Every structure is written in C-alpha cells, then in structure tokens.
Structure 1
Amino acid sequence: MGRARERLLVAASRRFYDDGVHATGIDTITSEAGVAKKSLYNNFSSKAELVSAYVDARHEEWLDLHRERSAKASTATDRVLAVFDAYIDHANDGHDNGYRGCGLLNAAAEFPAGHPARDAVRGHKEQVERILFETLEAVVTEAEALELAEHFSFLLEGAVARAGLEGTPARLEHARAIASRMLAAL
C-alpha cells in the first residue's frame, strides 16, 4: 500500500470513528493525512470508495485481533472466547476521544438500508457469527451451534453497544464472563 493511501486511510479511520462519516469532509481527511486533495483522488475515486476501504480495513483489523487471540487458544471454548477477547482488545485500543463502540456499526448507521457500506458491515457481522458457529460445531450439534452462535452474537452486539455508550470495555468483559459460564454448562 502506498504511503499516501495508508496515511489517508489512517486519517479517515480516525475522523470517521470520532466524528462520523458524513460529518467528515475530504478537506479534513487530506489535512490530517498531510497530503494534497489530488493524492486522495489518485488513491480513491470518491469519498464512497474511501468509506468502502475504511469499512474493509476495520474488518481486517478485527480479523487480525481475532487471529492473534485464536492462535493462543488451546480448546474450542478458548476459541469461542477469543471472539469476545478480540472485541475487548479493540475497545482497549487507544481511541483519541474514547471508545464509541463498533466503528463498523457506527458507520453503517449513517447509511440507508441497501447501501454498500451497510452491506459490507452486515457481511462482517455474519462472518463473526460464522466464526462462532464453526468453533461451536466442534463441541455441540450443528443445530445447537447455530443457536448458540446467534445467542453469542446478540450478547456481543448488545455488549458492544453498551460499552460504546459507557466508553469502557466493562460490558464486553461481562459478556465474555456470561459466555464462559454458558460454555462451561455445555
């Protein structure tokens, strides 16, 4: 990835997360990235393409956090909890203006149903649930794994929303503890 493109994505990520997609103009992003407006359009055909790259980058960031946690997991239970841990790690990342919840959901909320950015975020959330399902399938039946994956997804999303409102990962940590107890009862 080129230096200008990388700097633009970093600046867009920070501004979109802190201020919102629609509230953040191209001039703000190029100024923060320290590049000319022409550099933005040499790397992205439009703000919509930059938003798409932002959503993809946020998704990859979470997947990287999950891969790191999952690689350390020795049991199926640990691999399920690695999903929660990746969300906790994200919440603990240094956010300039505090933790505001899931950057992907925040961005999706700014677009109408059917918008490509919302579809991409939905794809991320579906992938998280699929990761949970595939891990749970090793310890319970397929039907139980589907149901538990959905329950854990709901638990995660509710915890992310509350953690974002409260600006602390405490709700995510509590959700992880609930999931751990549920898994121990299997």
Structure 2
Amino acid sequence: MSRPTTASGRSGRPRGGAREKLLAAAARRFYADGVTATGIDTITAEAGVAKMSLYNNFSSKADLVRAYLEARHEEWLGLYRARAARAAGPREGVLAVFDAYADHAASAYERGFRGCGLLNAAAELPAGDEGRSAVRAHKEEVEQLIAGHLSQLLPDRADEARTTAEHLSFLLEGAMARAGLEGDGERVRHARDMAEALLDRL
C-alpha cells in the first residue's frame, strides 16, 4: 500500500525530523481514519519515532491536531497560489480558487478522497475548540480571496461583489461536501463550470 507524504495524505513516506514525520503520519491517519479514531500510539508507530518524540514536539494530541489543521491550510494556500500565479485577471483569479480545490480532490489518497480534511476534522471537535476556530478562519479566508478578485472585477459594484463571493463560497463548499461523499472531484469540476457561467453574466 502506498503511503502519503503531505498534509493531505499523498503517496510516499516522508523524510526529515521527528516533528515533520509526526505531522505527516498524523495527516495520513487523521484524513483516512478520523481524528478521534487515531491514537497517539498509532501516530508514533506510523511515524517510526518514539512516543516521547511526540511530547517533545507537541504538548498534547490537541496541539498536534491544531498543527495538522495549520499544515492543511498552508498546503491549500500553496495550491491556490500556484493556480493564481497563472491567472490572467480577476475572473481567472476566482476560478483559481475552484481549481485549487479540484487539485486537492485529484490528489492520491490512501483510502480515497473523503472531502475537505479541515471540515472533516472540525466535525469531530467540540464546540469552542480552537481547531474549529482555525477551520472557520480558513473558510473565511477562502471567501475573502474570492471577494478580493471580484472587487477587482466589479470595482464599482462592491455590494454585488460581496454577495457573489458568498454565493460562490457556498457553491464551492457544497460541491466539496458532495465530492467527499462520492469520492472524486467531479462535483468540484462541475461547480467550477457553474462559477464560470455566473462570472460570464456579471
């Protein structure tokens, strides 16, 4: 069975220090099996490090979960920035957000694509948990990225830009939820087509 290397769980065993190995192992197991079902012993065995190494790098499992969520956020930003760098203008900038999600869905996962890893983790965390706040901040940042591109596309229609950004973020999140249930990125690609049609009507 192939083993992932990045925060999203892609193939290959990681290299590096204990912290990097632990984060990569946590990413694989949290995404494939869930946060609650994954214990410390499983993570340290997967990482190939001593249990004490975990506590030398993270104060608790909750601290490791927060680091995992931050790593996933940064990974998605990397996908978005790579797409945005090739965008010819604000219209393409909006679509770059959808493309980044499609890239995420198209990655190779140990047990298949299960949707947004951030939302999956948030669903397991109690109300008020710092991890849920981190996921909320990520989703708000995604919407703000869309809104920023739309504000350039519609410089004299600020209210419409904000409303459309919210509309598109709902479209994107709904597509990701369905894609996770169906195990592939087809819904995300369809959502991109819908977003493109909407942008053409602005």
**Which residues in structure 2 correspond to 1:61-140 (within 5 Å)?**
61-140=75-154
Task: Indicate the residue corresponding to 2:167 in structure 1.
Answer: 151
Mean Cα deviation higher: 135-144 or 51-60: 135-144
Matched, 1:3 2:17: yes
Could you give the per-residue CA deviations for residues 16-41 of structure 1, whole angstroms, max 9, x where no partner exists? 00110010000000000000001111
Matched, 1:185 2:201: yes
Counting helix residues as a fraction of each chain, which structure ranks higher? 1
Structure 2 residue runs without a partner (length 5+): 1-15
Task: Indicate the residue corresponding to 2:41 in structure 1.
Answer: 27
Deviation at 1:181? 0.4
- TM-score relative to the length of structure 1: 0.98
Off by >3 Å, runs of 4+ in structure 1: none
Could you give the per-residue CA deviations for residues 56-76 of structure 1, whole angstroms, max 9, x where no partner exists? 000000000000000000111
Task: Indicate the residue corresponding to 1:175 in structure 2.
Answer: 191
Task: Indicate the residue corresponding to 2:56 in structure 1.
Answer: 42
d(CA) in 1 for partners of 2:32, 2:26: 10
User: 22, 41, 58: which one pairs with 2:72?
Assistant: 58
Fraction of identical pairs, as percent: 63
Deviation at 1:3? 1.1
d(CA) in 1 for partners of 2:127, 2:43: 26
Provide the secondary structure at the position in 1 that maps to 2:147: helix
Could you give the per-residue CA deviations for residues 132-155 of structure 1, whole angstroms, max 9, x where no partner exists? 001100112211111011001100
- TM-score relative to the length of structure 2: 0.90
* Number of equivalent positions: 186
